Amino acid sequence: MYTLKVEGAFEAAHNLNGYPGKCAQLHGHNWVVEAVVKGRELDELGMLVDFKDIKQTLKDTLERFDHHYLNELAPFKDGVNPTAENLARIIFEELAGNEIFKRDSVLAAITVFESPKSSVTYTKD
């Protein structure tokens, strides 16, 4: 089994609806997102998935969040609280359907860091 990891990043603001503390106020983070890809079969070049393709796919996915107020973006504007947990799941779901994961490789996990010492990891199961 091979495990690849790629990081991306974006900057965005949010506030947590109903939170009993400071995070209920508008604030921002320099979010770091780590994508983990796993698989057993390498291609003819000896690669599971080209790092370049994972980086670009992650960048394209994160672009819609960069320099935005997350609460105004779907699905957060529709009542989903913009927690790191929900953000990890949403990013995972958007990435998992990408064509680069159609072979024998799978997107195994997304980890979202809202600070260098605080993160959440989402996996499908």
pLDDT above 90 for 39: yes
Please tell me the distance from the alpha carbon of residue 79 to that of residue 111, in angstroms, as a whole number: 22
Residue 12, domain CATH: 3.30.479.10
Residues 89 and 24 sit within 8 Å (Cβ to Cβ): no
The structure's pTM equals 0.95
- Domain of residue 111 covers 2-122
pLDDT digits (tens, 9 = 90+) for 77-109: 999 999 999 999 999 999 998 988 876 678 999
Is residue 28 classed exposed, middle or buried when 0-12, 13-18 and 19+ CB atoms within 10 A define those classes? middle
Instruction: Give the count of domains, the chain.
Output: 1
Residues 54 and 108 sit within 8 Å (Cβ to Cβ): no
